[in-house]
Chains A and B, each alone.
Chain A
Amino acid sequence: MAVKVLERRPLSFWERTYLPQVLGGLRVTWRNILRPSVTLQYPEQRPTIPKGYRGVPTLVRDPNGREKCVSCQLCEFICPPKAIRITPGEIPATAETAHVEKAPKEFEINMLRCIYCGLCQEVCPEEAIWLQNQYSMTGTTRAEMVNNKARLYELGGTLPDSHFKWDHKKAESERQAGGHH
């Protein structure tokens, strides 16, 4: 194979002293030393989370403490990395929310699989799953990185509700109870 040798331009005197490069670097350093700091002392300091941030997916309760999830499994269906696993269950007839009929027996989100895409929140017909501000998930075992139902409700807490769909439904069925006419 033919080799073409390129002639390199010889260094000038100042280039050989290296001083212009040192001074150029120091100029950047001094300029930034005098500017206000842009780094955060994480974890002592925490960033402000912008509105609409997609953090760790969580399950939420309505202001009356009712668990909103009815285990329709749409999030499990749409989840691209298959991080969600739901075991559906029936609400016992004696419970306060028996009229909702269905709730998850177990709800697991594997945070090693989750890609924080937010499709679960988008698809949820009951507004029960929310990607909230929590962004830091750590663990030392794989099992620790799977959020179960209790943990998801602990992370999620309560969010305001504008519909109270099921409460309304219950009130209406009680109003109409005893038949018509």
Chain B
Amino acid sequence: MVTDNKPSLVALNVDGVEYQVSAGANLVDALASIGKEVPHYCYHPKLTVAGNCRMCLVELGSPLRDRATNELVMENGKPKIGWQPKPAIACATNVSPGLHVRLDSPTVKACREGVTEMLLLNHPLDCPICDQAGECKLQEFSAEYGRGYSRYVDEKNAKPKHTKLGPRVTLDDERCILCSRCVRFCNEVAKDPVLGFVNRGSYNTLTCFPGRELTNNYSLNTVDICPVGALTSTDFRFKMRVWFLKQTSSICTESSTGVNTTVWSREGKIYRITPRRNDAVNDTWMSDSGREILREVDAAHRITAPQVRGAAADLESALTTAGEILRAGAVGVVGSGHQTIEEQRLLTHFTQATQAKAYVPARAGSADGLLISEDRTPNFRGALLAGLTNRAADRDLSVLKADIDAGRVRTLLVCREDVTTLGLDATTLAKVRMVYLGLHNDATAKAAEVVLPALSVFERSGHFVNCQFRVQSFVRAIPGPVGTLPDVAILARLLGSVTGQPAAFDADSLWKDLAAKQPALADLSPSKVPSDGVIVDGSAWANLSFPEGKLLKFAPATKA
């Protein structure tokens, strides 16, 4: 049976105007889908409904029917609407056909003003020092529905101002509005119930259970979903006001899940990474360890300048030397799942031009069943699509070691992989002349004859293919170190030096090439990749054994 995937639409009447929204949707989401904002604090689309903040009170009604005949009651030629006598919370209401909503009635406005005044009773109003200022729901709705002065004559409650809930989260209890989003997140998503409320009334306080700490690897999501400045990131605390930060869409490189992220930077410095909503990949969450990847940019062991035989060199002479080495023949190529599909495509051309064998090693790690998969590279599927390899990732480089020992590989181009941790020891590496395009000054960099600086995920643009075979794009957030080139440009130069022909490395020509050679990518180009990615056909590799197990939005294909 062919089913229509589109959700069925129903009529929703908002302030007298008829709209079409998906049936059964949460009223807050349905109204958001037609561009109507219902102010709310406790409701979160990915958590259960708590209905405790009362900010989303609206007036609801539905057409009246005659009890005897079940006919619509008409009034002046229109169905008569029976309005509920009291306002109801939109977040606990699902859209039903013919539902009528009032958003701008005096009652609704009075409700919002009342809730705002109540929430501000004990609020410290310390926006000047609060990190949430600028992205604070309480601040926004206070501007809209607050009265601008306080009628409260008593002293405000003093509560603990900096409680360490865990290694990464600091709580300011005075700012907390008790929406319980964080509590629900820990219970429902992180499955680590450590947060709860103690005391009653205006002394109600968020805290960890005795002897427990908010230590799980998803703890910083509580900071993201906190509608006020109560939960703050200990790392980002007091570092920079959010309105100075430029937001760039990126992809987390922690694992093959391909978590969608937003990189917040100012003047070439990244201050924080937050999840970007993608209902098909990561909902609105990301791991704490994924946010730590920004340390890569300024790491002490970062390669920022080219080196030739251990001495700093300029990029031009390093590329020339690398070209001489790679022209010697008997080349082996180590590709990486940390490369973009564009870089992998250029590397494929390089292997073809040098008749080299490509090795793409696996970076295995333990999965958490949520957003971190066993494959700790973001783009192994890209290597398959780019034609760099057609087998599952090599567990280690023992095949390459055998090839080197047998003399079949005498020169090596290594991209973004520390091969010394993958079974190539110093004696094996001593037998080859190596060009290393890498990020870190690791043992491989020390053994390499030419070291070319690679750029981090924040400094280059490209596409990754996650474990669902979803092509996702990421954009450069900050410039790379002075004097460096993007990886594609370096690979194109290396390719050019072995073919003698300059190689194109712009995204358009690389994608034209990919689309022509890879049926799964036919008709695809960077401009056709939407912000939430696009799934391509990976059935050609269905017989490979991929390491990924079940994740939040991914289930491994069951072998028939």
Contact among A88, A169, A172, A180 for B238, CB-based, below 8 A:
A88
Contacts of B158 in A (CB 8 A): 169, 172-173, 175-177
Judge whether A157 is part of the interface by a CB distance below 8 angstroms.
no
Which chain A residue shows the least CB distance to B241? A73
Contact status B243-A77, CB under 8 Å: yes
Judge whether B237 is part of the interface by a CB distance below 8 angstroms.
yes
Contact status A77-B237, CB under 8 Å: no
Contacts of B128 in A (CB 8 A): 70, 72, 74, 102, 125-126
Smallest CB separation, A133 vs chain B (Å) = 26
Q: Quick one: which of B401-425 are within 8 Å of A by CB? A: none
Q: Quick one: which of B118-150 are within 8 Å of A by CB? A: 124, 127-129, 133
Judge whether B157 is part of the interface by a CB distance below 8 angstroms.
yes
Give Cα A90 to B162, complex, Å.
Answer: 12
Contact status A172-B156, CB under 8 Å: yes
Contact status B244-A101, CB under 8 Å: no
Contact among B124, B129, B157 for A70, CB-based, below 8 A:
B129
Smallest CB separation, B420 vs chain A (Å) = 39
Contact status A101-B129, CB under 8 Å: yes
Judge whether B239 is part of the interface by a CB distance below 8 angstroms.
yes
Judge whether B443 is part of the interface by a CB distance below 8 angstroms.
no
Given contacts A72-B128, A72-B129, A172-B156, contact A101 B161 (CB under 8 A): yes
Contact status A102-B129, CB under 8 Å: yes
| Category for how many chain B residues contact A | 20 to 34
Judge whether B209 is part of the interface by a CB distance below 8 angstroms.
no
Judge whether B34 is part of the interface by a CB distance below 8 angstroms.
no
Which chain A residue shows the least CB distance to B133? A72
Contact status A180-B237, CB under 8 Å: no
Contacts of B127 in A (CB 8 A): 72, 125
Give Cα A176 to B155, complex, Å.
Answer: 10
Which chain B residue shows the least CB distance to A126? B128
Give Cα A172 to B162, complex, Å.
Answer: 17
Contacts of B203 in A (CB 8 A): 180
Q: Quick one: which of B241-267 are within 8 Å of A by CB? A: 241, 243-244
Which chain A residue shows the least CB distance to B129? A102
Contacts of B555 in A (CB 8 A): none
Contact status B238-A100, CB under 8 Å: no
Judge whether B9 is part of the interface by a CB distance below 8 angstroms.
no
Give Cα A102 to B157, complex, Å.
Answer: 21
Query: Could you jot down 18 A-B contacts, CB within 8 Å?
Result: A70-B129, A72-B127, A72-B129, A74-B128, A88-B238, A88-B241, A89-B238, A100-B129, A101-B161, A101-B238, A102-B129, A102-B238, A125-B128, A126-B128, A172-B158, A173-B158, A177-B158, A180-B199
List the interface of chain B (C-beta within 8 A of A): 124, 127-129, 133, 155-158, 161-162, 199, 203, 237-241, 243-244
List the interface of chain A (C-beta within 8 A of B): 70-74, 76-77, 88-90, 99-102, 125-126, 169, 172-173, 175-177, 180
Q: Top 6 A-B pairs ranked by shortest CB distance? A: A173-B158, A72-B128, A102-B129, A176-B158, A125-B128, A73-B241
Seed contacts A71-B238, A100-B129; 14 additional CB < 8 Å A-B pairs: A72-B127, A73-B244, A88-B239, A88-B240, A89-B238, A90-B238, A101-B129, A101-B162, A102-B128, A169-B158, A172-B155, A172-B156, A173-B161, A176-B155
